[in-house]
Homo-oligomer: A and B are copies of this chain.
Amino acid sequence: MELLKERIRKDGVVKEGNVLKVDSFLNHQMDITLFNEIGKEFKRRFADERIDKILTIEASGIGIAAITAQYFGVPVVFAKKAQSINLDGTILSAPVESFTHKRRYEVIVASRFLQPEEHVLIVDDFLANGCAALGLCQIVEAAHAQVAGIGVVIEKGFQQGGRVLREQGLRVESLAIVDGMDAATQTVQFRD
């Protein structure tokens, strides 16, 4: 998605340790006009799939999923990262290891929000080691629902997540795949 790559080139900041900061438009400040273009592009790529629901994970995925859902006409469920006194009933959970925060946590979804046979599109801002996406897939499977696909805004192509998910036969659509970046020159190499 050329518009997105241009925006990453213009406003993304490369930090040591393969960190790509896009917090000025994607995951702290959110450019809702860009999000609408992202939503349209996910709809274009998954136009041939039946999608009943979008599943994402708090916090950065929520804005993208909400805007994207408008193009699919479906509700969004976001997985939570910590037990809340407000969550009860049957809980589906999976362990996730965060690349950004260097810690492990449980992600949880109330099982009544994922019905058997539903076709679920998983949406997130980043795909790196794939742990978050794999956790969400586990939750969808535990609900006896089906992963219709995984829509990612930025994939770090030099980490294993995309490969692992695709090897499992999952359809992963990443709007920008970063194959390398250099903090010294502030350059980002995209996959064609």
Contact = CB atoms under 8 A, between A and B. Distances in A.
Interface of A: 19, 21, 23-25, 27-32, 35-36, 58-59, 62-63, 65-67, 69-70, 74-78, 80, 82, 84-87, 100-102, 109-110, 112-113
Nearest to A66: B63
A75 B110 CA distance: 30
The number of times this chain is found in the oligomer is 2
Contacts of A109: 28
Contact of A59 (B74, B78, B86): B78
Contacts of A85: 19, 100-102
A112 B84 CA distance: 32
B110 A78 contact: no
A66 B62 contact: yes
A76 B19 contact: no
A30 B86 contact: no
Contacts of A28: 77-78, 80, 87, 109-110, 113
Contact of A32 (B29, B69, B80): B69
B76 A30 contact: yes
24 contacts: A23-B110, A25-B75, A28-B80, A29-B75, A29-B76, A29-B113, A30-B62, A31-B75, A32-B66, A32-B69, A32-B70, A32-B76, A35-B66, A58-B59, A59-B62, A62-B66, A63-B63, A63-B65, A63-B78, A66-B67, A67-B67, A67-B70, A84-B100, A86-B100
A60 to B, nearest CB: 9
Contacts of A35: 66
Contacts of A24: 112-113
A58 B56 CA distance: 14
Contacts of A31: 75
